[in-house]
Amino acid sequence: MQAVILVGGEGTRLRPLTSTVPKPVVPLVDRPFIAFMLEWLTRHGVDDVIMSCGFLATAVRNVLGDGSSYGVRLRFVEEPDPRGTAGALKYAEELLDERFLMLNGDVLTDLDLTAQIAQHERTGAVATLALVGVEDPSAYGLVRTDDDGSVREFVEKPAPDQIDTNRISAGAYVLERSLLDLVPADRNVSIEREVWPRLVGQGLYAYGHDAYWLDIGTPERYLQGTFDIVEGKVRTGVAERLAGTYLAIAEDARLQGRTIPPAVVGRRVAAAADSQVGPLVVLGDGVTIGARSTVERSVVLQGAEIGSDCVLRDCIVAAGVRIGDRTRITGGAVLGEGATIGAENVVTRGARVSPGVEIPDGGLRF
């Protein structure tokens, strides 16, 4: 089976993490984010993956290679300009099989693609959209269906009195190649706004499934996805590393303080005496934590240095950041790659510090 993954966006909502790293290969727990999607696809028989790229495409290719380490054949298509969801598909047309999957590259899920493909075959559909239930569908477009699963109507950003279902599109589609006949070449075309409405009553079906599903396109959802992975709320390969203990610590890590699961600790991590790591923490390779510092509900990426008597809670610290003594990073704050935060600072309330920024001692009490 073949799949096309759309990863052409710049990831602006996830900045500053994506200011220096393309969104598909931003580290998530212990691997590039897109690796979770590739592993999910291989579980459902996908062996040929086309990455439709735009922003920093070469960097994505350099990290992922030819896909052999993930058990797939991986090819890359670079849009010369933004083409939209259907336009990107049209641009890759010469590589596509008669039937293939199309996937939004922002999503973490364990949706049953095998069952979706089987339903697509039974109904003889031209396109089958996966639907998932969400707590608050008002921020998404609703998909209304008939009893036979055929799509009847789309409702974009519904008003409260219009919400009669909580099922939204999961960004996972089974498509027949004939759908491309509806897409003009060489321009920006939205599959959601321009193609699906034309297919209503003409072979457009929906597959509903109660699966885990999360769009990780914001820092808040990035953290939530991290926590859900280490707690085993979504089926991923990380569970094998955690081995039921919810704790994975590299053999050469030196943790002199307290470690509370769930936590994933990389190679050469050093945490000094009386420190606390966890719960719900991921530490990348080479992270150092000073004496009496606490890190909980946070992600700290490769090579970051945390001073003594610090508190990190509900935050994201990118690679190579330096944090001075007695500094607090809390409340959804995100520190970009290589930033330097001096001693006795407070960064909180969702503040985002750009890559390479230097804040002097006591310079910020956000």
Q: Alpha helix locations (H) across the chain?
A: 17-20, 33-43, 57-64, 84-91, 113-123, 196-199, 219-230, 238-242
Q: Encoding tokens for residue 17?
A: 């993490």
What CATH code is carried by the domain that includes residue 66?
3.90.550.10
Band of residue 81 on the pLDDT scale cut at 50, 70, 90: confident
Band of residue 312 on the pLDDT scale cut at 50, 70, 90: very high
Domain identity same for 331 and 302: yes
Residue 352 has pLDDT above 90, yes or no: yes
DSSP string for 68-132: GGGTSEEEEEE-SS--HHHHHHHHTGGG--SEEEEEETTEEE---HHHHHHHHHHHT-SEEEEEE
pLDDT given at position 192: 87
The residue with greater pLDDT, 12 or 106, is 106
**Distance from C-alpha of 206 to C-alpha of 119, rounded to nearest angstrom:** 9
Q: Is residue 148 part of a domain?
A: yes
Q: Please indicate, yes or no, whether the overall pTM of this predicted structure exceeds 0.85.
A: yes
**Distance from C-alpha of 58 to C-alpha of 22, rounded to nearest angstrom:** 10
In whole numbers, what is the pLDDT of the chain averaged over residues? 89
Residue 191 identity (one-letter amino acid): I
Closest-CA residue to 197 (of 233, 149, 143): 143
Q: Based on the structure, what is the number of domains in the chain?
A: 2
Percent of the chain with pLDDT over 70: 95
Residue 209 has pLDDT above 90, yes or no: no
**Contact predicate 321/340, CB 8 Å:** yes
Domain that holds residue 100: 2-211
Domain identity same for 178 and 231: no
Q: Is residue 365 part of a domain?
A: no
Domain identity same for 78 and 146: yes
pLDDT given at position 167: 80
Residue 331 has pLDDT above 90, yes or no: yes
Band of residue 11 on the pLDDT scale cut at 50, 70, 90: low
The residue with greater pLDDT, 294 or 139, is 294
What CATH code is carried by the domain that includes residue 309?
2.160.10.10
Give the mean pLDDT of 101-130.
Answer: 93
| Residue with tokens 């610290």, as numbered in its chain | 317
**Distance from C-alpha of 83 to C-alpha of 317, rounded to nearest angstrom:** 33
